[in-house]
Every structure is written in C-alpha cells, then in structure tokens.
Amino acid sequence: MPATLDVSAMKPFVVKGTHFKRGEGLWFDSGVVYLATTADNTVWAYNTGTESMEKLYDGVALGDRAPIKKVDNVTVSSSGDLFVCEDPGEIGIGIITPEREIARFLRVSGEGQVVPNTPTEDVQNEITGVIFDPSGSRMYFSAQRSFFTGVIYEITGPFRRDRIAPSDPPPLRVETAREQPLRDARRRGPRVALRLGRTATVTATLTARRGGRDVVLARRTLRRDLGPVIFHLQRTRTGRDVLRTRRRALTGTLRIVAVDAAGRRAEVTQPLRLA
C-alpha cells in the first residue's frame, strides 16, 4: 500500500513573507539572490548578509525607455554581469553590469522570433535558459518556440570574465549600519558588515575620543573570500570598560582596511554611533 501524508494539520514554515508579482528567474551569486518579477518588469537583489532588498531594475518606472521588457530568466557571469532574458514581445537578452549600467545585449529577430502559423502581432515566443560554459567564452540560450520546435543558440565571445582588473585595489563596500544598540556592543562587540570584490585580509578598528585623545575600543583582523562578510569586533580592555560604564550614546570612528594577496589596499572610514 502506498504511503499517505495528511497535510491538513500542517502549519506553513514561513509565517510572513514578501509577495512578488509573478516571480520567475532566480540566481544566487556571491551572497546575493537575484529575482526577476515579470508582471512588474523588475529585477531585485536580496543581500543575504545584510538581509536587505534592492531594486536593480525598474522597467515600470522607465516606461517606454525601458531597455529590457518582461524580465524572466537571469544568470550572473563570472564577471558579475547579470544577463536577463525576456518573455514574449521583443524577445532578447538584457545586461545589468556591476556598475549598474543597463542595456539590451541582443535581440532575436526575423524567422527566429516568429512562431510558425501564428500572426506576427501575437508571437508567444520567449528567451530562456541563458548560461555560460565553464570557460566563460561561450553563451547558450534558447528561444522556446522558434521554428515551432524551439532552438538553442550558441554565441562565441569574447565576454568579460574578470570582475576586477588586476591593477585595481580590492573593492570594499561597507554595509554596516551607522547606528547600533549599545547593549549589543557590550555583549558581543560592534557588528561589521561589508562586501569584498576579492579575497583580502580585513582589519576593522573602532576608535573614540576619550580625555582629548583617540582610544581603540574594538578591533579585529581576519581573512575573507570575496562576497558578503559579517563579523563582530573584539573589544579591547579599554573598550570593555568604556562600553560597560557608558549610560548615553557614544559616537566613534569605524576604519576598515582590506589588503589582497598582491598588497593592494582599500580603505573606508565612517562614523558609528552606539546608543
């Protein structure tokens, strides 16, 4: 006798969630989940490190100027470029670069766009499955209903492969909140969130003015791979005393330095308020 499962009494695992308008393409890369929602022609980026959502592309806001229509399947190449397929219409592929430049990458036209025995104005063809071979030199995608049976195309590059030029310093994007609860800093140390564009050794230091001079409240050095990085600073002896006895807000300076294997260096400084 086959096994049966009664789901009537089961509770949903996710009690609350965000509703999207026809979610389709989904891709994970370097700690970021990319999601395409076709009904509102939008591409989203969810940062798993900071648990924050960003609109990368809003086709509705661009109106007739939108370079990509009816976003669908998505893929991130080795260079960090996001390639976006289109649903029925002017079928093609768009590109969103890491610098947030947006453009049409290609369009399928002529016989390749038309579904046989279907009026041109009622084409129900679409581009899907864009992907690259392991070398990053060839792109593949399919036109679902071209020539009735559908077609898979191969495009030979060159395509961009490297995310950063070897001469560039390691890209460093600090995503740390500029204000954090003082009680959390007392218990675990100040929290640091950042994004690295290349594997690097990261040193983060929190200083504050005490008695007319700068004192180090917390510091930590660690080596991390590219992508999102989250960690807590280790309080110094002075820092433990200051944070334990502090009864009002404290504003310090957070300095983060990233150095890659070749000795290239990037540095970011921002205020950090503990309240």
| Boundary (domain end) residue, out of 125, 156, 187 | 156
**Structural domain containing residue 184:** 172-274
pTM exceeds 0.85, yes or no: no
| Boundary (domain end) residue, out of 130, 156, 182 | 156
Q: Are residues 180 and 118 in the same domain?
A: no
**CATH (domain of 207):** 2.60.40.2550
Q: Is 62 helix (H, G, I), strand (E, B) or coil?
A: helix
Looking at the domain assignment, is residue 185 inside a domain?
yes
pLDDT of amino acid 5: 62
Looking at the domain assignment, is residue 6 inside a domain?
no
Residue from 94, 93, 90 nearest 121 by CA: 90
Q: Which range, 86-100, 118-132, 159-173, 231-245, is most confident?
A: 231-245
What are the tens digits of pLDDT across the range 218-270? 999 998 877 788 999 999 999 999 888 887 888 999 999 988 766 778 888 99
pLDDT class of 154 with cuts at 50, 70, 90: very high
Give the list of residues 6+ apart from residue 145 with CB closer than 8 angstroms, or none.
115, 124, 125, 126
Are the C-beta atoms of residues 250 and 208 closer than 8 Å to each other? yes
| Boundary (domain end) residue, out of 123, 156, 189 | 156
Would you give the DSSP letter of residue 120? Answer: G
pLDDT of amino acid 166: 46
Q: Are residues 214 and 147 in the same domain?
A: no
Residue from 74, 128, 77, 72 nearest 98 by CA: 77
Q: Are residues 149 and 181 in the same domain?
A: no
Q: Would strands 265-274 and 250-259 be described as parallel, antiparallel, or unpaired?
A: antiparallel
Looking at the domain assignment, is residue 96 inside a domain?
yes
**CATH (domain of 117):** 2.120.10.30
Total tally of structural domains belonging to the chain: 2
Beta-carbon neighbour count of residue 44 at 10 Å? Answer: 21
Looking at the domain assignment, is residue 165 inside a domain?
no
Looking at the domain assignment, is residue 183 inside a domain?
yes
Q: Are residues 185 and 253 in the same domain?
A: yes
Amino acid at 162: D
Burial of 14 per CB tally in 10 Å (0-12, 13-18, 19+): exposed
Q: Are residues 27 and 149 in the same domain?
A: yes
Looking at the domain assignment, is residue 163 inside a domain?
no
